[in-house]
Each structure stands twice: as C-alpha cells, then as structure tokens.
Amino acid sequence: MAAIYWYGILAIIGAVLTVFIMVKKKDNHELLIFFLFAMMTAFIAEMIGLLFLNSYSYYPGVFKDHYAENIFGHIIPNATLWPATALLVSAFPSRYRRILLITVIYTLLDVLFVRLGIYQHNWWRTWMTSAAIFFYCIFMKSWYLQLKNRRRTFLRFITLWFALLIIMKLPVSILLLTGLQYTYVGWFENIYRDSGAFSVFYNAAVSFICALFLCVLKKWYWKLASFILYFTCDALLMEFDLLFFHGGWNIYCLMLMRAVCLFLFIALENKYPHKLSEQISEIS
C-alpha cells in the first residue's frame, strides 16, 4: 500500500474521533478552540523537532523535496490525530490507564511506520515518541482543567492566541506546498525549511497582537486594526523581497485569505463561553 494511504488512515481516525467527541459533548465551541490550541501546540513541537533539530523524517511519498515531504507528513497527524487525542483525554474523565493505553498505541504506530519505511528516525528513538505522547496527554488534560477555572485569564488568552495562530498559519503551509506562495529570509538554504520556520515566528508575532485586539480590547476599531495590521505586515514582506507569489496568486489573494481567516476566528471567539474582556474588567 502506498505511503500516503497510511497517513490518510491516521487522518481519518483523527477526524472520526474528533466528530465523535463533538457530538457527545455539548460545549462544542469551547472544545473547538481547545482543539485548535492542541493542534498548534503539536505544530510548534514538530517545528522544533523537524526543522531545527532534524530529529526524524516523514515520507508520505507526495513530494520530491525532503523538507516538503516533512512538512506535508507532519501536517496530517498533527492537524488530526494529535489534537483529537488531546480532546479525548481532556473532554472525558481520563485516568492514567487510558493515557498509558494511548501511549502504547502511539508507540506501536511509531514502530509500524518505521518498519514500513514511511517514517524514519534520525537521532530520535521510539521511547522518545512514547514519552512525547504521554506528556502531551498529561499537559493537555491539565491545561483543559485549568481553563475551567474562571480566574485563569492568562491561560485562556494563550489558548485563543494559539487558536488564531493555527487558523492563520495552516493555510500558509498549504500555499507553500502548492508553490503559490513562500517566504525566504535566509535562515536555511532549503526554501521549504526556511519558509516553514520563518512563518511560525512571523505569524506568532502578528497573531499575538491581533489576539489582543480581538479578545481583550474588543472594540470594533481594534477588530479593524487586526485586519490592517496583517495586510500591512504582508505588504512590507513583499516590499522587502521576502514574500514571493507564483501561479496567479498575489498579495490581494493573500489579503482575502487573511480576511476570511480573521472573520472565522472572530465568529469562533464570539461563541467562546469565557469572555476575556469581561474577566479582565472584573479583575480590574
């Protein structure tokens, strides 16, 4: 069976598990925000492991470029299976036995993918995968429980920021893989590696400010400012020859995409049951 089908199975399992949890639980908007937070957390860990430490390699068999393969290979499980697992251990009462069972399943998947030749350890080891998923589950469960505390305003802001960050970052990764858009700042020789690493830091910085505008300040003109900020920063990247477009894609297409993503986040944040601006007002 082709490698991409194995990766597709992981995506299907993650998607089915996510839908099942959303149907079973009533607080869907809160869970969706947490799902996006868990996804971005996995993305950051993968960026460190893949792009900076060269810990392991993915081989889904779609791209010729090694780093394009890595980016595509990591998106599939980290956008589906890992955050779905975070929902499973957080939304339902989970004892350590369930987390240990999940750890064993992930460990077996690691061994299977290595033996199939569709995933390779460089200096990484299987026991590290076991430790990573175990602590990921513990961290996510603890974070979710802390979010239930009304006084955890800072944690809620980080959660919303990460949710906004993944909404803004994931489409950029897809554009990179399709060849329509990329950035190049010279951190790495490979375009995919350089663009992938820079886009995380760039979008993290801009989305952090936008999260303040959208979630804390809340006035209509601050919401408008978040759109202007993203449009301006993207235009500056293009002006300084750091942002490039191909295949008919251009700065105006990017602005439209940014606007859609920001509107999507605003809609989600409006449904989020814990309003940061109200909580900050109560504290002050």
> What's the rounded Cα separation, in Å, for the pair 224 and 217?
12
Sign of CA dihedral 212, 48, 195, 192: negative
Tens of pLDDT along the chain (284 residues) come to: 799 999 999 999 999 999 999 888 877 788 999 999 999 999 999 989 888 899 999 999 999 999 999 999 999 999 999 999 999 998 887 678 889 999 999 999 999 999 999 999 999 999 999 999 999 999 999 999 888 776 678 899 999 999 999 999 999 999 999 999 999 999 999 999 999 999 999 999 999 999 999 999 878 899 999 999 999 999 999 999 999 999 999 999 999 999 999 999 999 998 876 665 555 545 44
SS3 state of residue 132: helix
**DSSP H or E stretch at residue 168:** helix 153-178
Q: Which two tokens stand for residue 223?
A: 């919401």
Q: Which two tokens stand for residue 259?
A: 């606007």
Contacting residues for 271 by C-beta, under 8 A, at least 6 apart: 29
Check residue 274 and give its pLDDT: 63
